[in-house]
């Protein structure tokens, strides 16, 4: 089984909503087991279990929340150096466009890289004006259809990469699914 963890912190509920769509996206790939957990519920064992992780946090002052940071500093401390090579991506809700959601995603990817994860963004667009090149982003709640689609796409791509790279399921490679992908050049 392809194993995906969607880990999130959320205060207003916006990032938690995003997490739900990310989890749905991951489940859209066959034979994928998905754990959807808040940072208060998750344990180091959940991260150790997964092939790939999507980490979500509200954008707080331009980077991830202190609660999400504490998870990686404290709960994950003894796992450091033992979980290299998993796959990772990020998502975040901020107060508005230009409010730091890309940078918050970058801060989560930095943490994941520190743990030896292979991190990525998604080239695809989900509408004329929305993409998720460094993670899925939202201004406030994921109300709009394209924001939801971005979250779904992120989870789906994560599960595709782990299927391809951890389980040898070459048929799940996004390059073979161009008909379902919205690319600006094609």
Q: Is 180 in the site for a second copy (CB under 8 A)?
A: no
Rounded alpha-carbon distances, angstroms, from residue 35 to 53, 110, 176, 179: 10, 22, 27, 29
The minimum distance between CB 114 and a second copy, in angstroms, equals 4
* Cβ 78 vs Cβ 46: under 8 Å: no
Binding of residue 81 to a second copy (CB under 8 A): yes
Between 37 and 118, name the residue whose CB sits nearer to a second copy.
118
Torsions phi, psi for 108 (to 5 deg): -70, -40
Phi/psi at 168 (5° precision): 65, 20
- Distance in angstroms (rounded) separating the CA atoms of residues 137 and 148: 10
Least Å distance between CB 6 and a second copy? 18
CB of 57 to a second copy, least distance (A): 11
Shortest Å, Cβ 92 to a second copy: 10
Q: Among residues 6, 119, 179, 180, which is the contact residue for a second copy, using CB under 8 A?
A: 119
The candidate with the shortest Cα–Cα distance to 89, out of 69, 105, 70, is: 105
Distance between CA 23 and CA 60 in Å, rounded?
23
Q: Find the binding residues for a second copy in span 120-179 (CB under 8 A).
A: 120-123, 125, 127-137, 139-140, 150, 161, 164-166, 168, 173-175
Q: Does 21 contact a second copy by CB under 8 A?
A: no
Q: Is 43 near a second copy (CB under 8 A)?
A: no
Q: Which two tokens stand for residue 2?
A: 């392809």
87 binds a second copy per the rule CB under 8 A = yes
């Amino acid at each position: 089984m392809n194993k995906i963890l969607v880990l999130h912190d959320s205060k207003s509920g916006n990032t938690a909503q995003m997490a739900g769509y990310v989890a749905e996206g991951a489940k859209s790939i066959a034979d994928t087991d998905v754990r959807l957990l808040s940072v208060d519920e998750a344990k180091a064992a959940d991260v150790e279990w997964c092939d790939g992780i999507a980490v979500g946090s509200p954008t707080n002052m331009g980077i991830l929340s202190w609660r999400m940071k504490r998870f990686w500093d404290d709960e994950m401390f003894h796992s450091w150096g033992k979980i290299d090579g998993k796959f990772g991506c990020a998502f975040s809700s901020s107060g508005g466009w230009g409010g730091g959601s890309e940078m918050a995603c970058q801060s989560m990817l930095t943490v994941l890289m520190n743990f030896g994860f292979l991190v990525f963004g998604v080239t695809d667009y989900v509408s004329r004006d929305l993409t998720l090149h460094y993670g899925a982003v939202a201004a406030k709640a994921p109300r709009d259809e394209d924001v939801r689609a971005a979250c779904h796409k992120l989870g789906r791509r994560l599960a595709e990469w782990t299927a391809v790279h951890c389980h040898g399921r070459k048929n799940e490679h996004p390059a073979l699914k161009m008909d379902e992908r919205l690319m600006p050049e094609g």
